Amino acid sequence: MIKPEPGDAAGRLAEEIVRFTRLGARAKGMLNAGDLGAEFSALMLLFPLRHLGPMRVTDLAELKGTDPSTISRQAAQLVKAGLARREADPADGRASRLAVTDAGLAACGQLHEARHALLSEALSGWPAERVTAFADLFEEFNSSVEARLRSDPAVSARENA
């Protein structure tokens, strides 16, 4: 690993983001949500469906920034597990949308609680004001990255290819 130069806060942050991503992949195995009948990546589709309502697989793929065939495979897992259902798209009866079921809503709740418990335990030694400050800064960081990605023509071209 190449260490950032002293005083290179952006380089240090980049290294910590890589570390966080690596830890996140390991931490998802620690989420005590039980066997919900689908892969973790498929389960993560339940959250946008819960918040945004039924969606076509192509729209869900665009939202997640991934290939529609991957989302289609994950959607099939959710349907098989009873966590989502396919329904006719009212705008085009030939197309279908994916909608979260009551069991899917319950799974979202389990996943949310497991994630909250894991983070609460990890942050248990932090003073409340530091947790709040970190959450505020992390939100600001994510918003800045999202804005940068929206303004980058190369990212837009890859997403629309």
Give CA separation, 64 vs 8, 12, 26, 142, in Å.
Answer: 31, 27, 21, 15
pLDDT tens, position by position, 92-135: 878 899 999 999 999 999 899 888 988 999 999 999 999 999 99
Q: Are residues 99 and 50 in the same domain?
A: yes
Is residue 64 included in any domain, yes or no?
yes
Is 45 inside a domain boundary? yes
Long-range contacts of 99-104 (CB under 8 A, 24+ apart): 99/49, 99/53, 99/54, 100/46, 100/49, 100/50, 104/46, 104/49, 104/50, 104/78
Distance CA 126, CA 132 (A): 10
Our CA dihedral for 120, 107, 64, 90, rounded to 10 degrees, sits at -140
Are 137 and 111 contained in the same domain? no
pLDDT in tens, 11-21: 999 999 999 88
Higher pLDDT, 60 or 28: 60
- Kindly state whether residues 109 and 134 are assigned to the same domain: no
Q: Does position 153 have pLDDT exceeding 80, yes or no?
A: no
Same domain for 112 and 36, yes or no, is yes
On whether both 103 and 141 belong to a single domain, the answer is no
Domain residues for 155?
123-161
Q: Do 44 and 80 fall into the same domain?
A: yes
> How many domains does the chain contain in total?
2
pTM listed for this prediction? 0.74
Task: Judge whether residue 156 has pLDDT over 60.
Answer: no
Are both 130 and 108 inside the same structural domain? Answer: no
